[in-house]
Amino acid sequence: MKLLVDERDLKFVLYEQLKAEDLCKYPKWEEYSKEMFDMALEQAEKLAEQEFYPTNKKGDQEGCRYENGVVKVPECFHQPYRLYCEGGWLAMADDPEVGGQGFPATVANACVEFFAAANWALLMYPGLTHGAARLLEKYGTPELQEKYMYKMFSGEWGGTMCLTEAGAGSDVGNLRTKAVPVGDGTYKIEGQKIFISSGMHDLTENIVHMVLARIEGAPKGTKGISIFLVPRLLVDDNGNLVDNDVHCAGIEHKMGIHGSSTSVLNFGENGKCIGYLMGQENKGMRIMFDMMNEARLFVGMQGQGHASAAYLHALQYAKERIQGTPVERMKDPGAERVAIINHPDVRRMLMFMKASTEGVRGLLHLTAYCIDRAEVAESEEERELYQGYVDLLIPIVKSMGSDLGFRVCETAVQVYGGYGYTSEYPVEQFLRDCKIAALYEGTNGIQALDLVGRKIAMKRGRLFKNAVKFSREMVAKFKKNYRMREMIEIYEEAAESLLQVTKFFGLKGMTDEFHVPLLYAKPYLDLFGDVAIGLNFLWQAYIADRKLQEIFADHNAKDEKAQRELLESNRSAAFYAGKIASAKFWMSQVLTQASGKARGIMLSDKSPLDIPETGFALV
C-alpha cells in the first residue's frame, strides 16, 4: 500500500497539465527525458516509502536529545539520511558542476513531495543544507566554495540559515548579532540566534551556518544587515577542521517535528568566532530575499506532504473500517455493516481532503515549473513573466500549503474518529508536525503582507495583471467545453470578486485608510489562494473531461448507465471522474463563498483597530 502521495495525480500534474517532458526541449535539459523523470519519481517514492516513512513515528517518539552542547537526532534517522545523500537527492536540481544532478526544479519538487509526506523532520536536515549551499554557490568566493560547498551539496556537511533572534523574528531588521572586521577580510561574529532548524545535530561532522549580522557602524534596520558564512568547524589552510566558537545552548521542546533539532546557537562566546562575508556589506536582506522563494516553496511542500499522507491514510482507513449501515437502511438493525467510506459525511470529508490536496499540489508544482521556465527563458520578457508568476505564487503556496494542509490533517483525524486522536495511528502526528509550517519562514500573516504590500504593487501591478491575463486566456479556452459551464460561471464570479478587492486595496493604499489592506491582508491572501486553486481546477477538469470523453468513446459508453459501469471497472476513467469531482467540489463548496469574502473585506470594518486595548478584555 502506497499511502504517501497519489502518484497518478502527481503525474497528471507533471505530464498532462504542465507537460514537464517538454522542458527537455531546452538545451539545459536536452539530456533528460520523461523516462528519466519517471525513474527519479519511482526511486524517490521507493526511498520515501522504505526508509523515510518507517522512521517517522520513531523519530517523533524518540525526538532530539540535547546533552552538554551536543544534539543527538533520533538514531533511526542516520541510515535514511545517508541513503538520501548517497542517492544525490540533496542536489537533484543543481548544476552538475557543483555535484548536482541537474534535473528541472519541477521534477525535483515532485520528488520532494514523497519525502515531505514520509518524514518531514528528517527532510529538514538536507533541505536546510541545500539552501545554505545555494547561497554559497551564488555569493561565495571560489576559495570558500572549494572548502565548504561541495561537501554541503553532497550532504557530507550540514547547513543552516540563522536569522531569528529573541527580539527579531518577523522583525528581522531589529537583529543584534554583530560582525567586527578583523582586518584580513574576515569578521568576528558575536551574538545569539534562536529557533535554528538543524542548528546542531550529529548527522554530519560539520555544519555551515549562514548568519545574518550587523557590521559595526552599519545602518539600523534591514539596510544594515549583512550575511556571513560561519562554519561550526573552520577548514584551515592545511585542510584541518578547527573549532570556530559556535555553541549550542539548548533545543526547543515542540508540539511536533520532534526529530528536527531546533537550536539556540551562541556565536563567539569566547570571542573566537570567524565569519566570511557573503556578497557585499549591508546586502544581507537582499540576498536572503533571493533565497527565500526556495525556502517558502519548501515549506508549502511541507504542508502538502502532511496533507497528502493524511488524506491517503484516512482514505484507506475509511475503506477498511467497518461501522454503521448504509444510509438507506439506517433504521434496520439487521442491515449489514459497511465501510465508513459509504457514509455521506465521510465522503464529504474525503472530498474536501482530496480537493484541497490536489488543488495545492497543482499550485506548488506550477510554481516549480515557472521557476524552470524563468531559468530557461529565451527573452527577458519571458523571464520576467515567469519570474513574476513565481513571486506572486510564493506567498500563496506557502500560506495555503500550510493552512490548508493543517485543515486536511485535522479532517483526517476526524475521519479516524477517536482512534485518530491516539498515537496508534499516524494522523495526529501529521497534525502536530504540520502546524509549524504556518509559523516559520515568515508567519502566514507575513506572507499576506508580502502579497499585499510588495507583490501586488510590484512593477506597477504587472505581476497581478499578467495573472489576470493568463486566467482570462485559459478560461476562454475552457469555455469551449459546455459541460464546464456551471463551474466556469462560479469561477468567473469569484475571480471578479478578487479583482474588485485588489482594485479596492489599490485605492485604499493611497489614502489615509491604508490600514485597511493591512488589516484584511490575510483574508485577501486566502481569497487569492481560493481563486488560484479554482483556476488550477478548471485547467485540470478541462483536461480530465476530454480524456474521460475519449475513454467513453473508446468503450462505446454512450448513456449514463454504461458510463457509470465503465467508471467502476476502468481505473483511468475513475481517476478522471475523481478529478472532475474535485473541481466541482472546489467550485461549489469554496468559490461560492468568494463574493461574500470580498464583501466582508470591502466593508472595511476598522473596529478591530479602533477599539482601545482594554476593549479586547478587561483582564
Catalytic residues: 441
- 361 interacts with its own copies by CB under 8 A: no
Taking residues 231 to 270 in sequence order and writing x for each that binds its own copies by CB under 8 A, - otherwise, the string is ---------------------xxxxx--------------
Q: Quick one: 136 or 557, whose CB is closer to its own copies? A: 557
Contact between 245 and 195 (Cβ < 8 Å): no
Instruction: Select from 133-141, 286-294, 393-401, 610-618 the region that touches its own copies (CB under 8 A).
Output: 610-618
Chain centroid to CA 604: 31
Site for its own copies in 402-431 (CB under 8 A): 406, 410, 413-414, 417-418, 420-424, 428, 431
Determine the 3-state secondary structure of 559 from DSSP.
Answer: coil
The torsion angles phi and psi of 245, rounded to 5 degrees, stand at 60, 40
Q: Is 336 in the site for its own copies (CB under 8 A)?
A: no
Report d(CA 125, CA 114) in Å as an integer.
Answer: 16
Q: Is 542 in the site for its own copies (CB under 8 A)?
A: no
CA angle in degrees (0–180, nearest 5) for 498-504-510: 140
Q: Is residue 222 close enough to count as binding its own copies by CB under 8 A?
A: yes
**Which residue in the set 181, 221, 279, 506 belongs to the binding site for its own copies (CB under 8 A)?**
221
Instruction: Give the cell for residue 410.
Output: 485535522
Q: Give the residue with the Cβ less far from its own copies, 374 or 519.
A: 519
Q: Which three cell numbers stand for residue 426?
A: 499516524
The closest of 446, 531, 548 to 495, measured between CA atoms, is: 531
Neighbour count for residue 98 (Cβ, 10 Å): 18
Q: Which of residues 293-332 bind its own copies (CB under 8 A)?
A: 311-312, 315-316, 319, 322-325, 327, 332
Residue 600 touches its own copies, criterion: CB under 8 A: yes
Residues 108-127 interacting with its own copies (rule: CB under 8 A):
none
Which residues from 128-187 bind its own copies, rule CB under 8 A? 164, 167-171, 173-174
- Provide, rounded to whole angstroms, the least separation between the CB of residue 437 and its own copies: 10
Per the CB < 8 A criterion, the answer to whether 205 and 232 are in contact is no
With contact defined as beta carbons under 8 Å apart, do 563 and 555 qualify?
A: no
Closer of 102 and 523 to its own copies (Cβ): 523
- As measured in angstroms, the least distance from the Cβ of 565 to its own copies is 10
First to last CA, the chain: 53
- Of residues 121, 163, 200, 577, which one binds its own copies by CB under 8 A? 577
User: Using CA atoms, how far apart are residues 64 and 201, in angstroms rounded to an integer?
Assistant: 8
Query: Under rule CB under 8 A, how many of the chain's residues touch its own copies?
Result: 122
- Asked if 562 is part of the footprint of its own copies (rule: CB under 8 A), the reply reads no
Q: Looking at 75, 345, 382, 513, which residue binds its own copies (CB under 8 A)?
A: 345
The CA-based angle 134-136-137, given to 5 degrees, is: 60
Instruction: Determine, following the binding rule CB under 8 A, whether residue 614 of this chain makes contact with its own copies.
Output: yes
Quick one: which of 193, 435, 455, 508 contacts its own copies (CB under 8 A)? 435
How far is 273 from 189, CA to CA, in rounded Å?
A: 5
Of 406 and 528, CB closest to its own copies: 406
Does 438 help bind its own copies (rule: CB under 8 A)?
yes
Per the CB < 8 A criterion, the answer to whether 274 and 188 are in contact is yes
Q: Does 58 bind its own copies (CB under 8 A)?
A: no
How far apart CA 125 and CA 201 sit, in angstroms, is 9
Does position 553 interact with its own copies (CB under 8 A)? The reply is: no
Of all helices (H) and strands (E), which one includes residue 251?
A: strand 246-251
> Is 549 near its own copies (CB under 8 A)?
no
For its own copies, which is the closer residue by CB, 79 or 170? Answer: 170
How far apart CA 439 and CA 435 sit, in angstroms, is: 7
Instruction: Select from 453, 194, 412 the least CA-distant residue to 316.
Output: 412
Whose Cβ is closer to its own copies: residue 69's or residue 596's? 596
Q: Does 575 sit near its own copies (CB under 8 A)?
A: yes
**Could you tell me which stretch among 3-11, 146-154, 175-183, 237-245 binds its own copies (CB under 8 A)?**
3-11
Q: Angle, nearest 10°, between helix axes 105-118 and 344-375? A: 140
